[in-house]
Chain A
Amino acid sequence: GEDVEQSLFLSVREGDSSVINCTYTDSSSTYLYWYKQEPGAGLQLLTYIFSNMDMKQDQRLTVLLNKKDKHLSLRIADTQTGDSAIYFCAESMEGYSTLTFGKGTMLLVSP
């Protein structure tokens, strides 16, 4: 069955880089997503990557995909206190709308 796993917690200092990791089990995953959830809010799409790519960069965000190891990471450069939130990794398969989410990684950025 499908399973997406993430570490639960990450703490960094402001200005450092953050790396949030995710592993998935379904090799037929086609799309992989990162969502951000701030306290009391819904999920906000940060970025996504197609499975035929191995890297995508968007300003301070870099997504790396290792299909062989089914490993996805999100790197946030120059992390700010406003980046403190829960980050969810999610996968979906081509032709299917449903997403399978990980349980989320809480990122805490200290000044």
Chain B
Amino acid sequence: DARVTQTPRHKVTEMGQEVTMRCQPILGHNTVFWYRQTMMQGLELLAYFRNRAPLDDSGMPKDRFSAEMPDATLATLKIQPSEPRDSAVYFCASGLGPTDTQYFGPGTRLTVL
């Protein structure tokens, strides 16, 4: 049963610390997405990659967030330095191409104190 995995599932950190979230897309999927979910804003697209190349990261605060795909089996989302307003659930999703459905991971719940 192929699925997207994310680590860690929960992260509590203090303001100013660096946070790195990891995602393993479904094997063979070439499109990877990062979303953030909050009560106020709902689901927001932060960034997405196709064939490991970033296509759109306009939803991401550039000064503190960065997203990369070191290889086809790993996507990372880094926040440095973290702030309390970054507290949210961060989801990774993967798909096969432009019109393929997106399959979501279980999310990383981040709390920044």
Chain B residues with Cβ under 8 A from A97's Cβ? 31, 33, 48, 50, 55, 95, 97-100, 102
Determine the residue in chain A with the shortest Cβ distance to B3: A42
Contact A101 B102 (CB under 8 A): no
Stretch at the interface among B14-22, B62-70, B73-81, B104-112: B104-112
Contact A99 B102 (CB under 8 A): yes
Chain B residues with Cβ under 8 A from A45's Cβ? 101-103
Determine the residue in chain B with the shortest Cβ distance to A4: B42
Given A42-B107, A43-B91, A95-B99 contact (CB < 8 Å): yes
Chain B: minimal CB distance from A30 (Å) = 8
Is residue B45 contacting chain A, with contact meaning CB distance below 8 A?
yes
Instruction: Give Cα distance in the complex from A41 to B99, angstroms.
Output: 24
Is residue A69 contacting chain B, with contact meaning CB distance below 8 A?
no
Instruction: Give Cα distance in the complex from A13 to B89, angstroms.
Output: 30
Given A41-B106, A43-B91, A97-B95, A102-B42 contact (CB < 8 Å): yes
Chain B: minimal CB distance from A18 (Å) = 21
Chain A residues with Cβ under 8 A from B101's Cβ? 33, 45, 48
- Pick from B4, B33, B43, B50 the residue with the most CB of A within 10 Å: B43
Instruction: Give Cα distance in the complex from A93 to B24, angstroms.
Output: 26
Contact B102 A95 (CB under 8 A): no
Contact B56 A92 (CB under 8 A): no
Contact B105 A42 (CB under 8 A): yes
Chain A residues with Cβ under 8 A from B98's Cβ? 94-97
Contact A31 B99 (CB under 8 A): yes
Please report which residues of chain A, range 2-58, place their CB below 8 angstroms from some CB of chain B when the two chains form the complex: 30-31, 33, 35, 40-45, 48
Which residues of A pack against B, CB within 8 Å?
30-31, 33, 35, 40-45, 48, 88, 92, 94-99, 101-104
Known: A43-B43, A97-B102. 6 other contacts (CB 8 A): A30-B99, A95-B98, A95-B99, A98-B45, A103-B42, A104-B42
